[in-house]
Amino acid sequence: MRWLYGLLLLLCGAHSSGQVNRYDVVIDEIMADPSPVRGLPEVEFIELKNVSSKGVNLNGWKISDATGTATVNQSYVLQPDSFVILCSTSASVQLSSFGATLGIPNFPSLDNDGELLTLRAGDGRVIHALAYSKLWYGNALKSEGGWTLEMMDVANACSGASNWTASRAESGGTPGKKNSVDAVNRDGKGPVLLRSYARDSLSLVLTFDEPLDSASATVAEKYKVSDGIGIPRSVVAVSPLFTQLILFLNLPLQKNKPYTVEAKKVPDCSGNLNLPADPVKTGLAVRVDTPDIVINEILFNPKPGGGDYVEVYNGSKNIVDLKELFMGNRSSLNTIGNLHQLAPESRLLFPDEYLVLTADASILQQDYLVKNPAAVIEMPLPSYPDDKGTVVLLNNAGKVIDELRYDEKWHFKLIDDRQGVALERISFNKPTQDPANWHSAATKAGYGTPTYRNSQASLYPQLDGTVTISPQLFSPNNDGRDDFTTIAYQLQEPGYVCNITLFNVQGFVVRMLVRNALCGTSGYFRWDGLDEKNNALPGGQYIALIEFFDLHGKTGRFKQVITLVKRVQ
């Protein structure tokens, strides 16, 4: 009889003629975290459903994650409106009682927190792809394990999180049968352009909130870049999710210059067009090396059921790629650890922008006024204890960009209950580690100001003034030509005290040139290229940090780059 069954499969396969189109077969259920067990076996699986009108032979089809690919190595015809469970070969016996099951060698290990899954036909074409995450459960308890993720409307398979939720079945899932959350859930909204970044001077990446029509969305005339760059010469949709486009430009972008890009009449995979919207900022970022980004606000003792958050601020004139930044803490041995990347793919932070990092954006919005939800990134945070701890911000070379050793004693002394009260930075121009530069967020601001200006920031008004360095390239060899550089200042009023500190490119202090010097409305200081011990410094770039303050709390902070050149007389 086994030969007869095989013959029937071959015959059925022969009738599954015609090319399989995208979304004819969909991944409609995922068991990524089977523990703790509710009623299903403690094994991982995914379920496929044939939503087309023809049988589809899965022989040679592939399921992939970020680390590998598994191939169906047997003939199996998935009939219209039918399901099949895919799992490891060892799990197939346990799942076979729930419905048709295919055990696949090297079946991918499904990440609990989410990952990209791609289903390909035997000829390599993408049939369905999705990037699930824990947030798709929509239920904090169920996201901790024992429940499957189920698709609501298989006719709307190209949508993402809005079409998925945790299973409602008492057993924790519905392998081999219709999903417990099955419902009409049509997509009636067009795609939204979320953000953009430059891969290089001649190409931009655009990220949308849902998959696009990979053919119609690549019409170049639908896109325009500001500052004379104009319409791109070509556009490519990025497989397998098609939530991103690459715009290839006719003219090069300038590094560190902000541009905007607009998208008009771009269709999603359901045919809905995007609505007119403000252009999105984009640009070609520079490497994060100097203290371009500062820690600006921290909540380390959240409300019951709440979560920590850390806010950073770009006070520089540089465009920064968050992919280059990591956040961590320090151990009791003072070693840096528990590092987490701020963004797994390129994402830009522009001058004068805020960014908030938290584990759950929905909880943040429940507890605080979040004026700019787009400025929130969900990511696992290191441990930040309720009494004291350390926040460390590093670049991808391991260099510390900013660091805060906070203490709950920095809170306003008259606050009895400090739960849910954030510490805010008072001035960007004063040192991060100065306890006097931090204060409890104001009551009227709801004890926290994530994504916007701190409630206490107005305590220190900024001075009006300029600083110039001339020449910015000098050669201290006593030949009578550019032997020193002059740091000149121009202030609107007298009475300021000045400090000037010189750093090398590694961030180490090489010279404390001026300390607590009383300034007039104008003046200058000179640097001869020597260090603290009057030794000649090597050639290269140095950073001058010029700080002013007065008795009324006005402050100013300027950074300038100076190049020291070694010339032979």
Please compute the mean of the pLDDT values over residues 242-256 and round it to a whole number: 95
Per-residue pLDDT band for 280 (boundaries 50, 70, 90) equals very high
461 confidence band (pLDDT: 50, 70, 90): low
Q: Residue 45's closest CA among 130, 107, 114, 121?
A: 107
The Cα–Cα gap between 510 and 494 comes to: 29
> Tokens 């791109």 label which residue?
232
Q: Using CA atoms in the order 340, 345, 346, 352, what is the torsion angle rounded to 10 degrees?
A: -40
Closest to 315 measured CA to CA, from 453, 487, 498: 453
Q: Is 207 helix (H, G, I), strand (E, B) or coil?
A: strand
CB 460 within 8 A of CB 430: yes
Q: Is 357 found in the same domain as 334? A: yes
Number of domains making up the chain: 4
Neighbours of 5 (CB within 10 A): 9
Q: Is the confidence at residue 117, as pLDDT, over 50?
A: yes
Q: Provide the pLDDT confidence category of residue 420 given band limits of 50, 70 and 90.
A: very high
pLDDT at 57: 96
In a domain, 172, yes or no: no
Provide the b/e sequence for 529-538 (b: ≥16 CB within 10 Å).
beeeeeeebe
The pLDDT value recorded for residue 13 is 43
Q: Which of residues 413, 432, 457 is at a domain's end? A: 457
Look at residue 45 and tell me if it is in a domain: yes
Full residue range of the structural domain in which residue 344 is found: 293-457
Same domain, 297 and 371: yes
Q: Are residues 199 and 322 in the same domain?
A: no
**366 is a domain residue:** yes
Judgement on whether residues 405 and 479 belong to the same structural domain of the protein: no
Shared domain check, 548 and 487: yes
The verdict on residue 177 lying in a domain is no
pLDDT bin (cut points 50, 70, 90) of residue 569 is low
pLDDT reported for residue 207: 96
Contact criterion met (CB below 8 Å) for 100 and 114:
no
Tokens 């607009």 found at: 262
pLDDT band at residue 249 under the 50/70/90 scheme = very high
Evaluate whether residue 159 is within a structural domain: yes
Whether residue 4 has pLDDT greater than 60: no
Amino acid at 176: G
Label residues 416-453 b or e (16+ Cβ within 10 Å = b).
eebebbbbbbbbbbbebeeeebbbbbbeebbbbbbbbe
Whether 288 maps to a domain, the answer reads no
Q: Which of 240, 259, 282 is the last residue in one of the domains?
A: 282
> 83 and 135 share a domain?
yes
Mark whether 345 and 364 lie in a shared domain: yes
Same domain (yes/no): 267, 299: no
- DSSP collapsed to 3 states, 484-516: CEEEEEEECCCCEEEEEEEEECCCCEEEEEEEE
pLDDT at 522 over 90: no
CB 279 within 8 A of CB 262: yes
Among the candidates 401, 436, 457, a domain finishes at 457
Give residue 292's pLDDT: 78
Q: What is the mean pLDDT of residues 234-248?
A: 95
